[in-house]
C-alpha cells in the first residue's frame, strides 16, 4: 500500500473536539483500554485533564505518514489503537524499519529539533498528538509527566540496543523467532494472551525490520509451520504452538 499524504494532513483526520477543552470534564478516555501502559498512566485525574487540553486526536488510515524524517519535531504522539512503524531511508533508497509500536506506545521524542525517523501507520490507528511547547510548559508543573517522558526516552535507547543485536549476530531463523517472542511478550504485558499474536505488518515490513529479504522471511515462516513450531491460521495472526522450541531458536540453542 502506498504511503498516504503526510503530517500536514493530520488535522484533516481529527475527531471533533472543543477548541478549549473543559478542564472540569472527566479525563481523556481515548485509550482507557491501555491506560495502565500509556505514557500518561501515572498521572492524577487532575493532571490528565490538563494534559487533555494539550491533546489533538485523529483516526488515521493505514499507510499514513504521521511525520517524515527531518521534519521539525513539533509534536509527540501516543497510540490509542492500531500500529505504527518507524523507519529510516538509506542513501541508496533502501528502507530500515527500526520499530513497530502499538496501543500505549509513545513516539516522536527528538533532541535536535527534527525527527530522526519517519512514522507511518501500519493499520487504521487512533493517534493522540501533543504539542511539544505545551508539554514543555506542563513538565515543570507535573513532575510525574517529566519522569514518564524520561522513562520513555530510556525505553527507546534500550529498544535501539536490542535492534542492533537482532540485526548483527543472529541467523534468519533466530531473528524471526526473536521477533515473534517479543510480540508475544508485549501482548502479555498489555493484558493480552501470549498466543495467538497479531501481525498487522506485511512480510515486506518484517523483512525490512529484521534485515532480511521478503523471500527469506516467507521461507522461514513456512519452515516454522512445517516443524510444528507455529501455526498460520489466517493472514495477520500467528499461533505459537511450541513456545519452548521458539525460545531455543531465538537463543541460538536449537539444533
Pick the CATH number of 7-165 from 2.60.120.10, 1.10.150.110, 2.40.50.360, 3.40.50.1100: 2.60.120.10
Residues 96-110 have pLDDT tens digits of 999 999 988 889 988
- For cell 505518514, name the residue: 65
- Cβ distance 84 to 121 under 8 Å? yes
- For cell 518507524, name the residue: 86
CA separation for the pair 250, 244 (Å, rounded): 10
Residues 203-229 have pLDDT tens digits of 999 999 999 999 999 999 999 999 999
- Mean pLDDT in the chain? 82
Provide CB contacts within 8 A for 32, sequence distance 6+: none
**Helices then strands (H, E): number in the chain?**
7, 11
Strand residues in 61-152 grouped as ranges (E): 65-67, 75-81, 83-89, 95-102, 106-107, 118-121, 125-131
- Cβ distance 67 to 119 under 8 Å? yes
| Residues paired with 180 in a beta bridge | none
Residues 161-184 have pLDDT tens digits of 777 776 777 899 999 999 999 999
The reply to whether the predicted model has a pTM over 0.85 is no
CA separation for the pair 109, 103 (Å, rounded): 17
Pick the CATH number of 170-251 from 3.90.550.10, 1.10.10.10, 3.40.50.261, 3.30.450.40: 1.10.10.10
**pLDDT band with cut points at 50, 70 and 90 for residue 50:** confident
| Residue 7 pLDDT | 43
Is the pLDDT assigned to residue 26 strictly greater than 50? no
Give start-end residues of each CATH 2.60.120.10 domain in the chain: 7-165
* Burial category of 177 from C-beta neighbours within 10 Å (exposed 0-12, middle 13-18, buried 19 and up): buried
CA separation for the pair 160, 18 (Å, rounded): 38
CA separation for the pair 55, 138 (Å, rounded): 12
**pLDDT band with cut points at 50, 70 and 90 for residue 65:** very high
Is the pLDDT assigned to residue 8 strictly greater than 50? no
**pLDDT band with cut points at 50, 70 and 90 for residue 1:** very low
Give start-end residues of each CATH 1.10.10.10 domain in the chain: 170-251
| Residue 13 pLDDT | 64
| Residue 91 pLDDT | 87
CA separation for the pair 145, 150 (Å, rounded): 9
Amino acid at each position: 500500500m502506498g504511503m498516504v499524504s503526510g503530517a500536514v494532513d493530520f488535522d484533516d483526520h481529527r475527531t471533533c473536539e472543543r477548541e478549549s477543552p473543559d478542564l472540569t470534564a472527566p479525563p481523556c478516555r481515548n485509550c482507557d483500554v491501555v491506560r495502565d501502559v500509556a505514557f500518561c498512566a501515572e498521572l492524577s485525574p487532575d493532571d490528565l485533564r490538563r494534559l487533555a487540553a494539550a491533546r489533538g486526536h485523529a483516526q488515521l488510515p493505514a499507510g499514513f505518514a504521521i511525520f517524515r524524517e527531518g521534519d521539525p519535531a513539533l509534536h509527540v504522539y501516543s497510540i490509542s489503537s492500531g500500529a505504527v512503524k518507524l523507519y529510516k531511508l538509506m542513501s541508496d533508497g533502501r528502507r530500515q524499519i527500526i520499530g513497530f509500536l502499538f496501543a500505549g506506545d509513545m513516539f516522536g521524542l527528538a533532541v535536535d529539533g527534527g525527527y530522526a525517523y519517519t512514522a507511518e501507520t501500519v493499520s487504521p490507528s487512533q493517534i493522540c498528538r501533543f504539542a511539544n511547547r505545551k508539554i514543555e510548559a506542563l513538565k515543570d508543573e507535573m513532575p510525574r509527566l517529566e519522569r514518564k517522558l524520561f522513562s520513555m526516552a530510556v525505553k527507546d535507547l534500550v529498544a535501539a540496543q536490542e535492534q542492533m543485536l537482532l540485526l548483527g549476530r543472529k541467523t534468519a531463523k533466530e531473528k524471526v523467532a526473536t521477533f515473534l517472542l517479543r510480540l508475544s511478550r508485549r501482548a502479555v504485558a498489555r493484558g493480552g494472551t501470549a498466543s495467538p499474536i497479531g501481525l498487522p505488518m506485511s512480510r515486506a515490513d518484517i523483512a525490512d525490520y529484521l534485515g532480511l529479504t521478503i523471500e527469506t522471511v516467507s521461507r522461514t515462516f513456512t519452515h516454522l509451520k512445517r516443524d510444528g513450531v507455529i501455526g498460520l491460521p489466517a493472514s495477520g495472526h500467528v499461533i505459537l504452538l511450541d513456545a519452548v522450541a521458539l525460545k531455543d531458536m531465538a537463543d541460538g540453542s536449537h539444533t
